[in-house]
Structures are given as C-alpha cells and as structure tokens.
Structure 1
Amino acid sequence: MSDVSEVQNYRLRDEIKAYWSERAATFDLSPGHEIFSEEERAAWHRLFTQHLGEGDGRKALDLASGTGVISHLMDDLGFKVTGLDWSEPMLALARAKATARARAISFRMGDAENTMEPDDHYDVVVNRHLVWTLVDPAGAFAEWLRVLKPGGILLIIDGDFVATTLRERILSRLAGWGQQLGWLKRDTASLPQEMMDIHRSILSRVYFRDGARADAVSDLLAGSGFEGITIDTRLGDIHRTQARNWNMLKGMVRKSQHRYAIRAVKPARAV
C-alpha cells in the first residue's frame, strides 16, 4: 500500500470515529438502535439463539459496540460479553447503562479492524451495522478470524443502504414529504443537514460505497478463511417491532431494505 493510501485511510477512519462520537448523544433515541419494546427484545433474542445458541458463559466480543445495545442482548442470553468501541462518548454511555442495569459487561476502547485482542480467545464475535463502514473489510475479517477460538462463530448483522430499490426510493421520498408537510410523524432523532452531508461523504469513500450486499460480504469472509457461511434475510420479526415506532411509510421502507444476518465459522483445528 502506498504512503498516500495510508494517509487517506487514516483520515477517513478518523472521520468515521468523529462522526459516531458526535452521534452518541442521540444514538439511543432512534428505533433500530436502542430496543423500544419487549417484543423487539424477544425478536433479537430469537435471532441470536438461532445462530449462536445459549450463552452458557461463553466469551463474546461485540465489535463497534456503541452504547451497548447488542452487548446487553448477548448478556441477557448468558454470554460473558466484552464490548469494543473506539468512540469515547459511546463508551461512556455504554458503561453508564451497564452500571444502571447492574450488568457485568466489560466495555473498553478498541479498533474493530485491529482489536489487539488475544489469539483464539472468543467463542463468538458479533457486530451490528459495522461492516458497511469498514475501510479494509478483508483485513478486518482476518482479524476477527484470529481472535475467535477454533470452531468459534462470527455473526454479522448489517444491510445495503446504498443500492436501494425503486420501491424504497419512492417510499423514502413520500415519507420525507409527509414529514415536511406535517402529515406524518417525524423521526425522533432526525439528523441536521451537516451531519447528513458528513455521512454521505464517508459513505462515498468506504469499501462498500456501492452497497454492502450479503453475497459480497460472504465472498470476502470465505476468502479470509471462514467456513459454513450462511445468509439469513428473515429478519421480519425485528423489523415489524421497529416499524411501530415510525410513521407507516418509514416502517415500509425498513421492511423493504436488504438487511441480513451472516453466520460464519472459524475452522476447527485438524486433530
């Protein structure tokens, strides 16, 4: 890699870190980030149990853990959870939430693409809405493979928020107009124009700038050494519970998006 590329990547990653640090204060106000009902919590639990099984004290690493939403869901199921994030404001909120709920979750500063965690240490690595932001996904996937125990499971929950369908675009535009005219419920934590511009700028420069399709992510996982890769797009239970917190059109947009869970396994060592 050239020196110029390294500088560009460093600057982009700093921008991503700063963006999410700025978003921390209002992060939990948005449906799809924090859990807003016991029905949604139960739907998440079913997804994790389906792909990971019960926790039973197994070690789980939640990458880009943010305010700790996924970490708490994993803790509910009996996993021994470590949350890793590089945003200090996000970590402060996550630690405060864990203290308030009396949860024994460890939240610490760390880079999801270079975790500095030990080899063969975790039974499970999980992340939500991280992959689309990766500068070097192949390198990150190799890193996640390294920290997993042989036979350990990676679970990615993400989506393609770029290559939208015509239906999505029409619904999004109608929802926007309806909110502007006061006909539809506004989003609880709408972003100011400046933050939307920063988001678009970041998105235009990450690896998945054209959209993080599940098959493209799976191909990179296979190339990094994972096996037993499966794609689950049946997230309807989660999306239905989240849609209740939006106006009707915004809820329809969420249900029509290309969102998925990808499960992958680190090969067991040969006997």
Structure 2
Amino acid sequence: MIMEKIKTSVKKYWNWRSKSFGYDTDKSVSLEGRWESVLRELVSGTSGRRALDIGTGTGQFAVYLARSGFDVTGIDISEEMISLARRHAMAHQLDIDFRTGDAEQPDFEDNTFDVVVSRNMLWTLPRPDKAIREWRRIMKPGGTLVVSDGLWMNTTWKRFHHLAFRVFRGIFRNGAMIPVRFFCTYANINKSLPFYEGLCFEDASRLLKTAAFNDIKSYDTSCFGENPYGAKNRTKKMAPPFFIAYARG
C-alpha cells in the first residue's frame, strides 16, 4: 500500500511536469548530438538489435537508439510522458514501441533485450536495487547496460527558505511553479527514496555488482564540455556532477 502511494505520487508529478519537460534540442543541437554519439559508441559492440529505454520520458534515448538501427521499446510510469514520446518519434518518422511501465517491475520475459538504457531514473526509485536486478533479468547474456544519473542536491526541507524566496521572486515567470510542485510531491516521499539527493558512479557500480553485471566502467563525461544540466547547485554555483556507467550482462 505504501509503495503504491509512492508510485502514484511520482506518476502524478511527472504527468504534470511533462508539459514543460522538453527535449535535448531545447538546450542545444550540439548537446543532442553529443548524447547520441556517446550512446551509439557504448552500444556499438552489441550483437543483437533489441533495445529498451527505461524511464524514457520524452523518448530522447529511444530515438537515438532507433536512429542507430535498433528495434526500440520505451517505458515510463507517466502516461503523459509516453504521449509526448510517441509524438517525438512520429516527428522523426521512427517506429518505436512506447508503453507505460514500472522501472522496478518491467513486464518483459527473461533475456529479452540486447541493450537496456536509462537516464536520470535511479534517484527516483524507492527500490533501485530491485530495479537493477530486474534490468539484468530481462537482458540477454552479454548484453549492454547504459545508466546515467548524478548528484542533484535534492535536499527539500534543508532549502525550504530558498524555495520560498525563489517562488516569491519569480511568481509571474514561466516555470516558477516547478520547484513548488516538486517540493510538495517529494516532501512526503523523499525518505523512501535511497538516492533522493542523487548518486555517483560508485553508488551505481555497487548496485550493478550486486546484480551480477560484468565489466562495469565509467564513461569520461568531459567530452560534453559544458555540463548538460546547467548550474543547479545553488550552494556552489556550479552544475551538479553526473556520470555515465556502462556494463555487460
């Protein structure tokens, strides 16, 4: 029952957030190109062509994989995100199977996919260890997993006064309600999310090792040049560090 309430809260937030979520191209064409290039490089050694994008959001990674010749499925807990992802794929004239689904309980048979990818998903999960084990289960032996996430500084109560000031200052500005809605959603569930404040490569590596992944490595993200997530760390006035991990099943 508690888990159901958590998932419902998360779903409602991301359904609402989908209206302003956007695409990599909203930030820059070069950023989109860099993500696509990195993803193509990491999955290039995979023999099969079935790929799954978990927590697909607006379908960015799914589109990149499809353009690389993969038969792609994308899942997300948010129906509104899936709707946007379908429109995104249609705009690129790509046939991608988007469907709603739970990252911790993906509804696929064992050994289904050659590639499994996920970006900025682990921090949102109440049971990331279970999720990683499930991703290993549905991956074919020798398949490739690519996971990206970061240290997002989601400290909620510690920064309530900063939130109130920002809302007052930007109340008539586009996007001013995003931190308010985020706060209201996650204030009630953040203690149930082990990586609510974010995670680093070492955290992800431990999860992958426990789930019996092999050849776990960290990709050198300096190739991005400018951090793709901007200056969100308001304490240090710098962008939050992120990582890209990849491993074999």
Instruction: Calculate the TM-score normalised by the size of structure 2.
Output: 0.82
Hey, what does 2:129 align to over in structure 1? 138
Match for residue 97 of structure 1 among 55, 63, 88: 88
Q: Offset of 1:199 from its aligned partner? A: 3.4
Q: Distance in 2 between matches of 1:142 and 1:116?
A: 13
Hey, what does 1:17 align to over in structure 2? 11
Q: Distance in 2 between matches of 1:224 and 1:236?
A: 29
Q: What is the aligned-residue RMSD (CA, Å)?
A: 3.4
Q: Distance in 2 between matches of 1:219 and 1:250?
A: 25
Q: Offset of 1:204 from its aligned partner? A: 3.4
Q: Distance in 2 between matches of 1:205 and 1:113?
A: 14
Q: Match of 1:122, as an amino acid? A: F
Q: Distance in 1 between matches of 2:145 and 2:74?
A: 15
* Shift in CA distance, 138/36, structure 1 to aligned 2, threshold 3 Å: same
2:181 paired with 1:194:
yes
Asked which structure has the greater CA Rg, the reply is 1
Hey, what does 1:70 align to over in structure 2? 61
Hey, what does 1:219 align to over in structure 2? 206
Residues 124 and 152 in structure 1, CA contact (< 8 A), matched pair in contact too: yes
* Shift in CA distance, 200/51, structure 1 to aligned 2, threshold 3 Å: farther
Q: Offset of 1:123 from its aligned partner? A: 0.8
SS at match of 1:94: helix
Residues 233 and 259 in structure 1, CA contact (< 8 A), matched pair in contact too: no
Counterpart mapping for 1:205-244 below 5 A: 205-237=192-224, 239-240=226-227, 243=230
Q: Distance in 2 between matches of 1:241 and 1:135?
A: 26
Q: Distance in 1 between matches of 2:35 and 2:209?
A: 26
Residues 232 and 260 in structure 1, CA contact (< 8 A), matched pair in contact too: yes
Residues 239 and 255 in structure 1, CA contact (< 8 A), matched pair in contact too: no
2:140 paired with 1:149:
yes
Hey, what does 1:115 align to over in structure 2? 106
Residues 21 and 89 in structure 1, CA contact (< 8 A), matched pair in contact too: yes
Q: Distance in 2 between matches of 1:233 and 1:209?
A: 24
Q: Match of 1:265, as an amino acid? A: R
Q: Match of 1:14, as an amino acid? A: T
Residues 39 and 241 in structure 1, CA contact (< 8 A), matched pair in contact too: no
Residues 10 and 185 in structure 2, CA contact (< 8 A), matched pair in contact too: no
Q: Match of 2:73, as an amino acid? A: T
Instruction: Calculate the TM-score normalised by the size of structure 1.
Output: 0.76
- How many pairs align? 243
Residues 34 and 69 in structure 1, CA contact (< 8 A), matched pair in contact too: no
* Shift in CA distance, 98/109, structure 1 to aligned 2, threshold 3 Å: same
Q: Offset of 1:11 from its aligned partner? A: 1.4
Hey, what does 2:22 align to over in structure 1? 28
2:244 paired with 1:261:
yes
State percent identity of aligned pairs: 29
* Shift in CA distance, 255/78, structure 1 to aligned 2, threshold 3 Å: farther
2:152 paired with 1:161:
yes
Output one character per residue of 1:207-251: Cα deviation in whole Å (capped at 9) or x when no partner. 2235322212211110111111112352451645665xxxx8889
* Shift in CA distance, 120/256, structure 1 to aligned 2, threshold 3 Å: same
